[in-house]
Chains A and B, each alone.
Chain A
Amino acid sequence: MVKTKKKMTKVIAGVTVLATSVALLSGCGSSDNKESGKDGSKNVTLTMVVSGNKAADGQDFELDVLPKMINEKFPNIKLEVQKLPDDQYNTSIKTKLAAGEAPDFFRVWPRMGSAASIIDLSKAGYLADLTDLPFMSNITDGARTDMSNDGKVYGIAKGIDMLGTYYNKDLFAQVGVTEIPKDWESFLAASQKLKDAGITPIVMGDKDPWWIQFGAYQLAANTVYSADKDFDLKLQTGETKLTDPSWVKAISMYKELYEKGYIAKNSLGLGGPQATQMFIDGKAAMIFDGTWDYPTLTAKGAAEFERGFFPLPGNEKGQPVWQAVSTAAGWAVNAKTDHLEEVKQVLNYWFDSNSDLFKEWVKLNPSISAFNGVPLNNDLYKESYELYQSSGNSSYFANQMWPNGVADNLQVKFGEIIGGRNTTAEDVAKAMQSKFDELWKK
């Protein structure tokens, strides 16, 4: 009797243990709850994770407008959107994808740009093929190609982004700079005038190291890509090197701005938010940034002034200026989504040029639209955009053709220059090339 009882306890204990273990482990999986809606269609929750900062004032398109309008159009679809700062997004999205925990929609960058890039992710099989969606023919060729790999379209770009120099027209007028600088020499002269008048010519948020790219790529467009548009393709075959004189020149020109004190001292202590604040407060005359920061840079600060925008002229006198213009980041769809039908419904509605949602999107989108027939929104970019369209003198942001990590080395090494170390432009180029050699392969 005693023996059987003992046996019993053992069995019960064993079963309990197994049950709890299974329950614990299965708790980690996700559970879908599908209920039937009124009209028989299934209630579905779609998820979206994007990067960036919430719009400072008013409605944020992705966080507020999109989920609301989707739900109005499709009562059975609920869209949950999460927005992470760029840095956190980049470090987490790939882990989410690898773990099978990725959202239905997420942010991607064109070609090889940034951590979540079209080429990397599509090679790994994480992106759904969107080639057949009906609105694709409405997107300009460039924007579609940049979001493709092997002839298949994997993403929809927000539009086109330009890098440029935002400037304070009032401060320029105050020191007597009436014409926007059209070449490197006159740009330096204008900066000197501002500096002599006791005004900080340029402010940058270099504590967020990716800001270094904002200036560097504009200069590289002039020194590197104006002479050789295929520089990076040749880089991949070993024909050119980042240590070639053209890249070294771009880096040393950028270095010059720091050495001459045109860029605010202590920029390594300022993050992006603090730097943009200084600009809108009228404490600095210029800032290098992209069109995506339109809402931040046109927000009201401590000073009222008129803003302007021009490409940083890294060109010699008499040469045309080249701009850094590129397809913007956009959205991709998880290849392993459980709700591909609903996802396609959402996309087709969103990007149908006649829908209300599309119109609302165009209104709130700071990037220049890549859809045919959509006029330019923001007058601030009018001149630069017209120049881009008429001259065709532009190159993409250089990091889109490099493995992720090369741009990181540019930032780390150039940071040493800003910090007053004895690093030369050649050292920076060398570090970039060696990272490229390490990562490009295989």
Chain B
Amino acid sequence: MNSAVLKKTMYWFVVPALLMYLVFWIYPILKLFQYSFSDYNGFIQDFNYIGFDNFSQIFKDGVAATALSNTLIYTLVFVVFSNLIALGLAFLLNMKIRATGLYRTAAYVPTLFSAIVVGFIWSYVYMPDSGLIATILSWFGYDGANLNLLGNYDSALYAITSVDIWKHIGTSTVIFLAGLQTVPVDLEEAGKIDGANAWKITRFIRLPLLATSITINLTLSLINGLKAFDYSFIMTNGGPGRATSTLLFEIFRMAFREQQYGKASALAVVSFALIIVLTSYFVLKMNKREVSA
């Protein structure tokens, strides 16, 4: 440990940051596990321990099941579409065409806005009767007044997922684009000489070399989907009914609206376990498929 470059005393400088991390991050997480076994209501400090009641209650009243299925649908749609669109966009933006810089910027701009702003704007886009989509449809003779994407049980979840996809595409595209540019030109040329057409070059040279970017993007979007909260909160309030109530939104609703802090903690513990299991499964699986140039 006696390094000439890093003196032992230097380790002391980690302490302030570590202290903050422990007090504001690790300690609350440990508290969460404690609260999940209690009937704590969030503001009266004396509470009772009630064993696994919270856990059985969240499964019994069906709230966990609804929130879970909403979250999984959200995640699936989000992961598939945001990555497919971003991949396509990255291939397009990687072509040698005029003003690529402009298009690349345009693709990235939605990412720059905060979720609050995006959610607010899209509420107006989706508004029945006078919203952007309704207005455009009415030009073609459809009755825009009947288009109520956010107020309809069957479409609300997909409507908010689309907004998240729209916002997220920029990030994924940039990562794919960076990946594409590391694909060595000589490999592509070698492919061409061997008589491979554009599709074959993409399928057998570019995509395998993009594996690292794909892993990163899939993981990021998976985590992003599983912790979906923003748009349910801003655009639909989890509604109509519980149609857009995701795990995190349900935790928020229980803890701060219904004052069932203990029950919310139990749901948080369940989501915590779920997110860890799903993410690590995918990361491990995809790491095996990566190749290097």
User: In the complex, which residue of chain A has the Cβ closest to the Cβ of B243?
Assistant: A419
- Please give me the residue from chain A that is nearest to B9 by CB atom: A13
B225: CB under 8 A from chain A? no
Q: Judge if A58 is at the interface, Cβ distance under 8 Å.
A: no
A438/B57 contact (C-beta < 8 A), A9-B9, A17-B16, A115-B259 known: yes
- CB under 8 Å from chain A, chain B span 1-45: 9, 12-13, 15-16, 19-20, 23, 39, 42-45
Contacts of A10 in B (CB 8 A): 9, 12
Tell whether, in the assembled complex, residue B20 and residue A24 are in contact, meaning their CB atoms are under 8 Å apart.
yes
Contact flags (1/0) for A81-122 with B, using CB distance below 8 Å? 000000100111011011000000000000000010000100
**A268-B151, A269-B128, A269-B148 as given contacts; A94 in contact with B42, CB under 8 Å:** yes
CB distance from A228 to the nearest CB of B (A): 27
Contact yes or no, A419 B153, CB < 8 A: yes
Instruction: Pick the residue among A25, A92, A207, A439 that contacts B237 (CB under 8 A).
Output: A207
Q: Is A418 an interface residue (CB 8 A)?
A: yes
**Is A266 interfacial (CB-CB < 8 Å)?**
yes
B236 & A207 in contact (Cβ 8 Å cutoff): yes
Chain A's nearest CB lies how many Å from the CB of B31? 13
Q: Which residues from chain B contact A91 at a C-beta distance below 8 Å?
A: 252, 256-257
| CA–CA, A24 and B23, complex, Å | 12
Contact A266 B145, CB 8 Å, known A420-B153, A421-B153: yes
A123-B148 contact given A115-B257, A412-B242, A419-B241, CB 8 Å threshold: no
Q: Contact mask A194-218 → B, CB, 8 Å, 1/0? A: 0000000000001111000000000
Cβ-defined partner of A94 (8 Å) among B39, B43, B57: B43
Contacts of B13 in A (CB 8 A): 13, 17
Q: Is the CB of A98 within 8 A of B151?
A: no
Q: Which of A13, A16, A97, A415 contacts B241 (CB 8 A)?
A: A415
Residue in chain A with minimal CB distance to B11: A13
> Does A405 reach chain B (CB closer than 8 Å)?
yes
CA distance A10 to B71 in the complex (A): 51
Chain B residues bordering chain A, tally (CB within 8 A):
42
A209 touches B237 (CB 8 A): yes
- Given A207-B236, A405-B257, A420-B153, A95:B15 Cβ within 8 A: no
Contact flag A408-B127 (CB < 8 Å), given A268-B240, A419-B153, A419-B243: no
Q: Quick check: is A34 within 8 A (CB to CB) of the other chain?
A: no
Interface of B is mostly: loop
Which single residue of chain B is at the shortest CB-CB distance from A414? B241
Give A98 to B39 CA distance when docked, in angstroms. 16
Quick check: is A416 within 8 A (CB to CB) of the other chain?
A: yes
With an 8 A cutoff between CB atoms, is B181 at the interface?
no
Closest-by-CB residue of B relative to A431 is B61
Q: Give the shortest distance, in Å, between A291 (CB) and chain B (any CB).
A: 24
CB distance from B16 to the nearest CB of A (A): 5
Pick from A14, A415, A420: contact of B12, CB below 8 A. Answer: A14
Whether B257 and A207, one on each chain, are in contact in the complex, defined by CB atoms closer than 8 angstroms, is no
* B197 interface residue (CB < 8 Å to A): no
Report the bound CA distance from A413 to B152 in whole Å: 14
Q: Which of A95, A268, A421, A438 contacts B239 (CB 8 A)?
A: A268
A418 to B42, CA, bound (A): 32
Do B241 and A266 have beta carbons less than 8 Å apart? no
B150 on the A face (CB < 8 A): yes
Q: Which residues of B contact A416 (CB under 8 A)?
A: 153, 240-241
Judge whether B212 is part of the interface by a CB distance below 8 angstroms. no
- CB contacts (< 8 Å) of B243 on chain A: these are 419
Residues on A with beta carbons closer than 8 Å to the beta carbon of B258: 404-405, 408, 439
C-alpha gap A404/B43 in the complex (Å): 14
The residue that B257 contacts in the complex, of A123, A208, A408, A434, with Cβ under 8 A, is A408
Given the interface pairs A13-B13, A17-B12, the reply to whether A412 lies near B241 with Cβ below 8 Å is yes
Interface hits, B43-94 → A, CB 8 Å: 43-45, 48, 57, 61
* Cβ-defined partner of A269 (8 Å) among B45, B151, B237, B241: B151
Contacts A209-B237, A419-B152 given: A21-B15 contact, CB under 8 Å?
yes
Which among A25, A413, A419 has the greatest number of chain B C-beta atoms within 10 A? A419
CB closest residue in chain B, given A93: B43
15 new A-B contacts, CB < 8 A, other than A408-B257, A415-B240, A442-B39, are A13-B13, A21-B19, A24-B19, A24-B20, A98-B45, A207-B236, A266-B128, A268-B150, A268-B240, A269-B150, A270-B151, A405-B258, A413-B241, A416-B240, A442-B48
The 8 A-B residue pairs whose C-beta atoms are closest, nearest first, are A268-B151, A269-B151, A405-B258, A91-B256, A266-B148, A415-B241, A98-B43, A269-B148
Task: Give A contacts to B, CB under 8 Å.
Answer: 9-10, 13-14, 16-17, 20-21, 24-25, 87, 90-92, 94-95, 97-98, 115, 120, 123-124, 126, 206-209, 265-270, 274, 404-405, 408, 412-413, 415-416, 418-421, 434, 438-439, 442
Residues on B lying within 8 angstroms of A by beta carbon are 9, 12-13, 15-16, 19-20, 23, 39, 42-45, 48, 57, 61, 126-129, 145-146, 148-153, 236-237, 239-243, 252-253, 256-260
